[in-house]
Amino acid sequence: KAGNNPFQCSCELRDFIQSVGQVSSEVVEGWPESYKCDYPESYKGTLLKDFHVSELSCNTALLIVTIV
């Protein structure tokens, strides 16, 4: 059971959130209400399903190309 754990909401968690969100809530126990961000502080208490971070901010190569 993965719910009620202290999730660190970051770019690395995006794929997990996407895959869990595509499975029915009967398969993933407690989804979405038991899956919340714990860190960083600005996202604390945010449901994982509501955590969104852009591809640009997660993809450093794309970010560098965009800046240059």
DSSP per-residue string spanning 35-60? -BEEESGGGTT-BGGG----HHHH-H
pLDDT above 90 as % of the chain: 47
Q: In the chain, how many domains are there?
A: 1
> Is 2 within a domain?
no
> Is 48 within a domain?
yes
The pTM of the full predicted model, rounded to 2 decimals, is 0.76
Question: What is d(CA 28, CA 14) in angstroms, rounded to the nearest whole number?
Answer: 17
> Is 57 within a domain?
yes
> Is 35 within a domain?
yes
| Least confident window among 22-26, 40-44, 58-62 | 58-62
pLDDT at 66: 57
> Is 1 within a domain?
no
- Kindly indicate the confidence band of residue 68, based on its pLDDT and cuts at 50, 70 and 90: low
Range of the domain at 32: 7-67
